Structure 1
């Protein structure tokens, strides 16, 4: 894995895994409506967790997905690039 600065090598929206739609501009800054999101855990496995931690992990992820499915999230282009550039 290699980290890179999003300012130097921004990820084009056409290559992003999730969808955003241009909503407009505010003081010359593009504002995007976040139309689709994904929750990606840091650890791909839960084998290291005990039963209680697995329960909390599952419910926490479900809570995040419920909030994100609500819609109505907007972001400037800079923040979207920061989110996508960490991979």
Structure 2
């Protein structure tokens, strides 16, 4: 779980660090559809990683998925294991 959150956090920093380029592109060439597409793609990438950073811990801690304690792990609620810890 911790590794997943760290990786998602680092993945989310990429689009955030690159935002000055699409913003400048949109400011200077706002009339071109390509600049709008590039900027909206960067914003969508940031939103997707932020959404994943919200959903993954919520799913882990709400019982939607549980860490396996043994190879034959069976949850009483039917939740599936989240993966390796």
TM-score (ref. length: structure 1): 0.36
Bigger proportion of residues as strand:
1
Bigger proportion of residues as helix:
2
